[in-house]
A = this chain, B = another copy of it.
Amino acid sequence: MNNKIRTELKAKKQAYVRDEIIAAAAKLFAERGIRAVTIDDIASELGYTKSVVYYYFKNKNQVVWEIFNRIHAAWSQDTTAIIEQDIPPEAMLPALIRRHALNVMERTAWTAIYFRDQSELTAAQQKVVRDRKRQYDERLKEVYQRGAAAGVFRDIPANLMVSSIIGVCNMTHMWFNPSGRMTPAEIAEHYVTILMQGCLNTSARP
């Protein structure tokens, strides 16, 4: 093997181990809470000694922070993929609602950490999380304002609508059970109906 191939292989292996550590840590954090999990626990989960984990991460906070960064990257990517589509606001908003609801339900380990354990971050990290949330809200708001300006959405203050969307979707993490009767897709569709059309049965009206 020449040096270039060797370096590439090493980088690939390192990225793989890093992913492995993150996945194992996320699982343990979700199950037990961040405070109850040690670097030793994460290493044991993978059959490593803790020196392996310390080779990749300086301390537990760095593992936690990497998880928060990956959650953000994935959510942000999903949102961007929808916002960049050439579709009108009345199609874009339901797509964003659906994706947010599905993210809460399909990534339950992440959701548990994200909603419960922000207080485990440093003050500077918490500020970054707050700024990212604000950016996320702003993107939804912009879609709503576009639709309201075009007359397809009601004249509701965009920040109230965004707060409502996030309130409906995030509430799910309080009770969602992956082995429950309804699938995440079914639940997400009901949320789209509630938020877009409301619960009043207009077809029953004269």
Contact = CB atoms under 8 A, between A and B. Distances in A.
Interface residues of A, number: 38
Contacts of A155: 201
A191 interface: yes
A166 B172 CA distance: 11
Contacts of A152: 200-201, 204
Interface in A152-185: 152-157, 160-161, 163-164, 166-172, 174-175, 182
A71 interface: no
Contacts of A83: none
A188 to B, nearest CB: 10
A202 interface: yes
A194 B161 contact: yes
Contacts of A195: 164, 194, 198-199
A170 B167 CA distance: 7
Contact of A198 (B170, B182, B194, B204): B194
A90 B198 CA distance: 12
Contacts of A196: 198-200
A175 B157 CA distance: 14
Interface string A118-159: 000000000000000000000000001000000111111100
A160 B191 CA distance: 8
Nearest to A167: B171
A190 interface: yes
Cβ-closest 4 pairs across A and B? A167-B171, A198-B198, A167-B167, A197-B198
